[in-house]
Amino acid sequence: MMNTTETENICGLKKEDFQTTVDGKNTDLFFLTNSKGNEVAITNYGGAIVAIMVPDRNGNYANVIQGHDNIQDVINSPEPYLSTLIGRYGNRICKGRFQLHGKEYRLPVNNGPNSLHGGLKGFNAKVWDALQMDAQSLVLKYVSPYGEEGYSGEMKVTVVYTFNDDNELVIDYMATTNKKTIINLTSHGFFSLAGIADPTPTIDNLICQINADFYIPIDETSIPTGEIRKVEGTPFDFRSPKTVGQDINADDEQIKNGAGYDHCFVLNKKEEGELSFAAKITEPVSGRTMEVFTTEPGVQVYTDNWADGYKGQHGATFPRRSAICFEAQHFPDSPNHPYFPSVVLKAGEQYKQKTIYQFGVEQ
């Protein structure tokens, strides 16, 4: 075997292309491989997943997650959340304001009138301390200082990525704070099961199932109206598998508000916090499948409605609706909706979340 970095992995990415220094901290690229010979590549800049190499029904490998092939492109991506970790608060907070222990907190507004995905420089733009435990697991740690992006408390966060022999990419999140605060962590993977390409194919023909009887309607600025609505009889009914494209352009106020799907689905749960089935997608041409399991109460389904064909790794391009995201999380704008599941984390408590993306093939 030739002794080059090219032959050490199947995604064709090189560690040295991901090595630089940002704010005095070193970035790098880490490879997770399982016994089946499949591979995941992750950088500690924003915890971005830059490759998931899995075979189709004929054994042909492709990268099924959107990413870049060097650190500068990750840092300067037209999509700043491209397959990154999100924090302190995934999704939107109305007008960047919320009340906590009798005080109003104000966050930077970075998405229309609202605060999105942790603010101007969220966890997606931080260099995490990385420790690769073994061939299958990577530990990332970040300490979010007191008052960062307007949030209270110092928060210590640990995220563990594990790629096991069942082709499950398991993401375990843990966090503690020294002062009462709010938290909503997630991973913003942009999945393209057909494989990234030039251009990456549309997700319209993906067959999708979502284990949710209800979803959360939004206003024209993508903030929850406060209603929890049945999916029955709406474009949001994925209880039985159907193609993503079937209703994505429906003449429906909610579809218009999201420019497609950009909504939180309320997952069916027997008990709060149980690890249960959330969603499944099947790509009919390649036969690749992905199932999502999570302990979270919701999953934000986003159909990449704003991409414009920008360039990704190895010459791939990412047109509009060439990816689908399943961001397991608590509901958007929860601090301003007291009857939504609580996102408050108190000193002495531990935040925990587990989400699994399992890859497979159907013949």
Active site residues: 188, 327
Secondary-structure percent of the chain, ordered helix, strand, coil, rounded to 5: 10, 40, 50
DSSP letter at 36 equals T
**β pairing state of 61-63 and 49-55:** antiparallel
Q: 41 to each of 10, 11, 53, 136, 203, how far by Cα in Å? A: 10, 8, 9, 11, 23
Determine the Cα–Cα distance for residues 222 and 283; give it in Å rounded to an integer: 28
Q: How do beta strands 155-163 and 168-177 pair?
A: antiparallel
Give residue 153's identity as a one-letter amino acid code.
G
CB distance 210 to 299 below 8 Å: yes
Q: Which of 67, 118, 129, 59 is nearest to 91 (CA)?
A: 118
Do the Cβ atoms of 273 and 182 come closer than 8 Å? no
Assess contact for 194 and 201: CB atoms under 8 A.
yes
Characterize the bridge pairing of strands 229-230 and 276-282: unpaired
Q: How many Å from the N-terminal Cα to the C-terminal Cα in the chain?
A: 33
- The three-state secondary structure class of 8 is helix
Query: Contact 96/106 with Cβ under 8 angstroms?
Result: yes
